[in-house]
Structure 1
Amino acid sequence: MTLTPIRAYVAGPAQGPASRTPNRVRRYFILRLIASGAVIAIMADSTATTLAIPVLGRDPIAAGLPLAEITWVSTINFAAVAALLATAGRFADLLGRRSVLALGLALYGLGATTVIAAPTWPMLLAGRLGQGIGAALMFPSSLALLLGELPPNKRAGAVALWSASSGAGALALQGGGGWLVEEYGWRGLFLPGTALAAVLLVLTPALPRSRGTTRRMPDLFGALLLVGAIAAAVLAISQGEVWGWTSTRTIGCAMAAGLLLAGALATSWQNPGGAIDIRLWRRPGFLWAGGASCLYGAASYVVLSIGPLYLKESGFDSVSLGLWLTPISVAMVVSSPLAAMASRRIGLNGIIYTGALTLGGGCALLLAHPYPNLWCLLGALLLGAGFGALSTGTFTVGTMAADPGQYAAAAGAVNTSRMLGGAIGVAGASVLVDRPIVDGPMPGFASVLMACLAVAVVLAVAALTRVARSSSRRRAARPTRREAEAELIVLRRLLAELRDSFVQVRSEAEQELARFNVHDLPAPRVPAPRVPAPPAANQR
């Protein structure tokens, strides 16, 4: 008797061609479509904000406002997303991912509609806040739905597709943003995201229903503490340069962030439904994913925020500005799936190492050629390729370290780390632009690129260290020839003892059967395996 029929029965329905029914293929397609569409909408909104700020000051709605006030269009949205991501992911795991995604799409669409039709500045900020809340709900729940429904062998590719979608969203606005501004003004930049969110919301009922991991109510008080802590930290970091790093508001926000975070940790320590999943942060590899994502965000957000300002100061108009940023998004879209395929050979830490090296190479090339030319184009492609590899690597490491019931919490926590790193990076970059640390042409821009290069080096060294440790552990776990021979001797001894025990059992069984006058039992009939007949010679 062999295990072949059992294995065929167990593995066949899940792996064979017959398992790929039209319903399953259609469900996987809808999953990928909605998850990717949600990320495209979020990144399109982020790019739209970057392109809208330079021209928003000329609109009557922002007449007389200084640039520091106008940038609140981005700050309030960024703070809302960063503050709610971790909590939204935790709630999606506890209450149901499809419901949280649908709520996020509705809030995002409502906020974008408010921004487009806003008659006053406070109404515009309210719409941006609504978009931020909706994006925070959409981001982790979309990835968790994708990972939770796909088989394990397709999850790395799903993360790559999801990461590439962020580049596709930015690419769409960078390529057509200038035309939208010329035709419809800055409000036209938010039209694509609004339309996409409406379409995705209509398709959401086709998603598989996902039940939460618990029926108990999540810790709302702890969630409020965590949201307040992250929001206060983001405000302190992003507005420190405007308020003054030693001002009362900056120090007050920093102290409030520390106290609120301590309260959120205290309430989550013993509560299974706490705002912070303590078990998640204890899992091997997850802390590394959060740290790597933080460094990746510190570099990526700086490039995406300082790049448009640098190009605008160089005399580029809105159309040219978007076209010069397009290579970054194109390279990110292409490199994300390539990174997923390469991870099967060099591992996820190798992907993070390669992405950091590529990012550093792009920064070095832009440092050597500070003015826009073909070398800068190659540098932009390297930056985008590095971003794609790092995005795929960090998100895959973080989500694969989590249990299936923690996918949304993992995605939210990893992206929160990325956004906090981005806030720190942008704040540091604003300081370097005003007080550069190097001389020469474009000293502020060169100082920012040097800082990004340093971040890339630190990330590459950390990833290389983990690659070396993994290799040493595999070598240590691999048995030597002497150990293999010793294990073979032990195995032979155990088999010999097992054979002797079977002989003894047989002898005792025969003695017991003899007591009942039972002799020469017929051997059990084992049916011969069926051999398929060869095909007929004249069969066509």
Structure 2
Amino acid sequence: MKDSASRRGAVAVVLVGVFASSLDVLIVNIAFPDLERSFPSASLTNLSWVLSAYAITFAALLMPGGRWADQSGRKRAYLTGLALFTVASACCAAAPTLGVLVAARVLQGLGAALMMPSSLGLLLALFPSERRGTAIGLWTAVSGSGAALAPPIGGLLVQLDWRWAFLVNIPLGVVAWFVGVRTLPEVRERSRSVPDVLGILVLAATVAALVAAIVQGPDWGWGGPRVLGLIAVGLLGGAFTVRRAFRHPAPVIEPAILRIRVVALGNLATLLFFAGFGAMISASTLFLTGMWDHSVLRGALEVAPGPVVATVCAVPASLLATRYGVRVVGMCGGAVFAAGGVWWAVVTDGTPDYAASFLPGSVIGGIGVGLMLPCLSTAATLSLPPERFATGTAMNTMCRQVGSALGVAVVAAVLDARPGVSGYHTAFLIMAACGVAGGLALLAIGAERGRIPANGTALSAPATGRTV
């Protein structure tokens, strides 16, 4: 174990990358009006790719990035991703044209897809086994707060210029890279095998097609040929990936991982809950700026209490999950999150009253997020052997991204059909339903516990249900 100062530096390096890669999924959304002014000749569809390019690339390359990190070394993967992300941020900030900006966002997504899968495995290696609950709590608190704090941070930065949303990554990335070279431990899979290159390419294309269909559906039309074509590509690619998983000796998605009940249900719960999370972030921000006509900066700051509460609650919630089990704490978190959505659906109306109607729902929802996030990460990864942590983290993060994209797309469709207060109330109820569904998926884990050893063979063992 490294000395205390070196270990703290290594932990900080990992958390910086986790926060930045989560933040950049949504931070540009708040800068959209400024982008329109900077590129006045660009159509709204072309501008939307500044937002979509990162999300699609990030989601599509998570699983390949996780497999590469497990096999080639998590330190190498993390630092490579951090370097790419930092360079891409500089390119985004200096982009003279919209095409350069979109290309740089793709490179950013590639860097993030290398950082995120390796980050949890590196973090767990820096903590003794009895403190893994704290490590997971830190990871989930930082990754969740990165996504949730994107609107207020973006709102503050774009007051200077939209380019500051990218410039802020550069000094953090440079310092973190140099510290990481000196302090991060190298962790890799003990037995290497030839990767399934074709499977990796097909899976990346499959996820990219599905996420692109979800993200662009509101603009392109859900029944349009482009969206239907992307969905068809995704379905065919998914069928090929499943078939390949059972035939290739080293598939990108190992069936043994998904045979573990805890892992499978943990990823299902993540997909469902983050659909509600995406609905919450988009609907609440649009409600404040659209229905109540608050400024972008004011609306961004008004959503901040929820993410702050979630960050504060995440580490204690992880310790509670270690003691009482993810199914109990996760179900409570899903129910509390849902209560926040129901509060907004019942109490808010067209008359602005932030303190009495919006703020309580934000705090209640934030508590639910803080309770839920560590349970999702624990369920989806901790039953795996250490040499599969990067792959498991990649799968869980991919479910987060796909779920968030689904939630945002559903809210966009609802508000397009019903732009008034009733539409927002429906969006808040969708948020609540997804929270309950995610909690029920964790509750379904029961007392079963599974683990796969290094050779990929699934094992199941009884457990008390108190730890996962």
1:404 maps to 2:386: yes
Three-state SS of the structure 1 residue aligned to 2:213 is: helix
In structure 2, the residue matched to 1:361 is: 339
* Distance in 2 of aligned mates of 1:137 and 1:109: 13
Do the aligned residues in 2 keep the contact of 1:87 with 1:276 (CA within 8 Å)? Answer: no
Q: CA offset at residue 288 of structure 1? A: 0.3
Cα distance between partner residues in 1 of 2:106 and 2:148? 24
1:281 equivalent in structure 2:
258
Question: Residue deviations 1:459-512, cap 9 Å, x none?
Answer: 334444545899xx9899xxxxxxxxxxxxxxxxxxxxxxxxxxxxxxxxxxxx
The residue number in structure 1 matching 2:209 is 232
Q: Report the Cα distance in structure 1 between the residues aligned to 2:184 and 2:442, rounded to whole angstroms.
A: 37
Closer/same/farther in 2, CA of residues 261 and 188 from structure 1, 3 Å limit: same
1:145-185: CA deviation from partner (whole Å, max 9, x where unpaired) = 112443221112101101111354457655554443222x1
Aligned twin of 1:435: 417
CA distance in 2, matches of 1:402, 1:344: 16
Distance 1:199 1:178, change over 3 A: same
Aligned to 1:241: 218
Matching residue of 1:145: 122
Question: In structure 2, how many angstroms separate the alpha carbons of the residues matched to 1:429 and 1:405?
Answer: 38
Q: Is residue 2:109 matched to residue 1:127?
A: no
Q: Distance in 1 between matches of 2:232 and 2:400?
A: 22
Return closer, same or farther for 1:78/1:341 CA change in 2, 3 Å cut-off. same
Aligned CA distance change for structure 1 residues 468 and 260 (closer, same or farther; 3 Å):
closer
1:74-473 equivalences in 2 (<5 Å): 74-169=51-146, 174-183=151-160, 185-205=161-181, 206-313=183-290, 314-370=292-348, 371-374=352-355, 375-436=357-418, 442-466=421-445
Q: Answer yes or no: is the 8 Å Cα contact 2:333–2:367 preserved in 1.
A: yes
Deviation at 1:318, TM superposition (A): 3.0
Q: What's the secondary structure of 2:381's corresponding residue?
A: helix
Q: What is the Cα deviation at residue 222 of structure 1?
A: 1.0
Change in CA separation of 1:172 and 1:244 when aligned onto 2, cut-off 3 Å: closer
223 and 372 in structure 1: CA distance in 2 versus 1, 3 angstrom threshold: farther
CA distance in 1, matches of 2:114, 2:196: 17
Evaluate the alpha carbon distance shift between residue 273 and residue 155 of structure 1 in structure 2; reply closer, same or farther with a 3 A threshold: same
Q: Which has the higher contact order (CA 8 A, sep 6+)?
A: 2
Identical-residue share of aligned pairs (%): 29
Paired with 1:349 and 1:401, the residues of 2 have a C-alpha distance of 14
* Distance in 2 (alpha carbons) for counterparts of 1:367 and 1:238: 25
Instruction: Read off the aligned partner of 1:361 and give its amino acid letter.
Output: A
Q: Secondary structure at the match of 1:239?
A: helix
CA contact (8 A) 1:44 1:173 kept: yes
Distance 1:224 1:251, change over 3 A: same
Query: Secondary structure, in 3 states, of the residue corresponding to 2:261?
Result: coil
Match for residue 38 of structure 1?
17
Q: For the residues of structure 2 that align with 1:54 and 1:332, how far apart are their CA atoms?
A: 28
What is the aligned residue count?
447
- Check the 8 A contact 1:48/1:190 in 2, yes or no: no
> Offset of 1:246 from its aligned partner?
2.1
8 A Cα contact 1:97 1:212, kept in partner: no
Equivalent AA in structure 2 for residue 37 of structure 1: V
Following the alignment from structure 1 to structure 2, what is the Cα–Cα distance between the partners of residues 187 and 475?
Answer: 51
Which residue does 1:530 correspond to in 2?
Answer: none
In structure 2, runs of 5+ residues without a counterpart are 450-461
Distance 1:339 1:299 in 2: 19
Match of 1:200, as an amino acid? A
CA drift of 1:265 comes to 2.9
In structure 1, C-alpha distance between the alignment counterparts of 2:6 and 2:66, rounded to whole Å: 23
For 2:172 and 2:125, the matched residues in 1 are separated by 24
Per the normalisation by structure 1, the TM-score is: 0.78
| Residues 149, 51 of structure 1: alpha-carbon distance in 2 compared, 3 angstrom cutoff | same
- Please say if residues 350 and 467 of structure 1, whose CA atoms lie closer than 8 Å, have aligned partners that are also in contact: no
1:273 is paired with a residue of what secondary structure? coil
> Equivalents in 2 of 1:271, 1:148: separation in Å?
30
Question: What are the equivalent positions in structure 2 for 1:462-501 lying under 5 Å apart?
Answer: 462-466=441-445
Computing the radius of gyration from Cα coordinates, the structure with the larger value is 1
Tell me the equivalent position of 1:523. Answer: none
Distance in 2 separating the partners of 1:67 and 1:461: 39
